[in-house]
Structure 1
Amino acid sequence: MSTPLLPVIFCGGSGTRLWPLSRESHPKQYLALHGDGISMLQKTARRLDGMAEHIPKAAPVVICNNEHRFLAAQQLQEAGIEGSKLVLEPVGRNTAPALTLAALVAEPETVMLAMPVDHVIARLSDFHKAVAVAWQLAKDGAMVTFGITPSRPETGYGYIQKAEAVDCGAFAIRSFTEKPSRELAENYLRSGDYLWNSGLFMVRADQWLKAVAELQPQMLHACQASLIQSSQDMDFIRPHGELFASCPSKSIDYAVMEHLPGNKALGILASVVPMDAGWSDLGAWDSLWDVLPRDACGNAHVGHTLAIDTNDSLLFLSLIHI
């Protein structure tokens, strides 16, 4: 049987940059930001629908806040997602501990696809092609990220420098740069050797735990201890609060990925799959504005709105109490 693909959905955070629509009690991941009635969580959970039959898919693991557990469970049920596990973070500790929790509850050879819930993927067929390439690499032991060809000298994203080609259009990674200066970003754009770091990752569970054990032993210990002392009811897994709170707060990039290039002793290939699938990180109002269609007057509408003598504006009808 082929190595299964496990979606790991990062669903924490309060989405404060989309205030007042997104707020602590009902953050953006549970909102239908495109006016289609489908929340960001539901879109992410269904993102692998229609993938090739030869890639078996497991029910997702969702990492979310304890306060939102019933909302997350309800939305997954409404989206027809069955058998998912919800790991309830007592406190937020960034993406590396979240992925470590998922790896500890997964089967060792499961390939995990880590997906932040606030991403937009406009062309799913192109996304599926990139995932299929990454899956081939990850099941053989590589750690894979997805790179976006830069369209402008963006200083708010991380950049990945490509090295030699490895397989099926993928590349080894030479280096990472986090949020470069404008001058550097312009140089990266001209060189053609750099990709935006999408924040999507794929890695086998046992390979991730091997890397964390070597590079972030305190993180692994805290996650293991919190799960040993965890409680479980229905589909909810509750890591021990104080033990998990002792875990360092680090992203996947800082904790592991940036340390892999050149680390021959660890023996985990860091690779990147270029992806052109209409990706966007929906972090704030300006990024929502960028992905919404416009009318003849340059206005973007979400919900039943009416623009009178209005140009180049975002009109958003919220049916949720603020």
Structure 2
Amino acid sequence: MADKDNKGPRKVTSFDVARVAGVSRAAVSRAFTPDASVSPKTREKVYQAAKDLGYRVNYLARSLTNKRSDLVGLVAAGLDNPFRTLQIEHLARVLISRNFRPILLPTSKEADTSAVIGQLLHYAVSGVIVTSDAPPTEICEQCAAEGVPIVLINKGDDIPFVDRIISDDRMAGHLAATHLIENGVKAPAVIAAPAISYTARRRSEAFMASCRQLGLEPRTIEVKINDYQSGYDAAADLTSLGIDGLFCANDYMACGVIDRIMKGLGREDQPPLRIVGHDDIPQASWAAYGLTTIRQPCDVQAEQTVDLLMSRIAEPDMTARVEFTPVTLIKRRTT
């Protein structure tokens, strides 16, 4: 027969914390519940007792009781893009600062959407944030039917009770066109994958409209994906087409363009055409690129997103809302 003493230490419970702190178990629960009514003195006593005992709140167990956890699902694809990882980092930081716990669910165009939905609902998430490259429609419709609040970032899907945060892509396209032409560009072009990306399509359309208003007819270079390799592959023909100014739908693709052009020239100075990107990823400021770009501020966007999510949690039946994130031109070496 096994010795009872060999079963290991007994798990510390909230009852133990209450006993050591000299308070009720209800007071312990309130102390670990954000915004709950509890005096600072009591909260401090509970926290100290919990620390001394090694007690941790089981938030998943609590969610089974409350029918909703403090988890927020972050559904994202295209995590190879530095902008996406930066965006997720800012969203996670803001969620944590608002007493939520982010759970990342990577997906893709080819992924089984039902599996993502199942994970979200099984975890009893308080809300869901879907970023631009993730396929959202089925996820959103089913989560909305289950009463789970959702916010989309940079998506065009218009779904009842689903809020959206959209970067000001029309301003971005206008800023890129104006800046290139003011810097002497006579044959502008835009490179993007408009068929699969709402933001790429909006940025391209705005860029072309602004070029035409300024008296120039832009070229369009369509690719399948807005990624580094697409930019690298497409760059081979740019100079032979007579293009002297290029707006890339994102910085990731612009870096591919610059690398291919500079490799072909065998030198490291300024590319022979003016280039503007979009997003202002960290690599855009690297000496190898010095990329002029349109900054999409992840910190501002994250705050906007979580604000909408929290208000949707509080009032789930509100009409769907759309907010825009402002953009800024950042001038560097490529123009």
Computing the radius of gyration from Cα coordinates, the structure with the larger value is: 2
Q: Structure 2-normalised TM-score?
A: 0.29
Please state which structure has a larger fraction of its residues in strand.
1
TM-score, normalisation: structure 1 = 0.30
Instruction: Choose between structure 1 and 2 for higher RCO, CA contacts under 8 A separated by at least 6 residues.
Output: 1
Decide which structure has greater helix share.
2
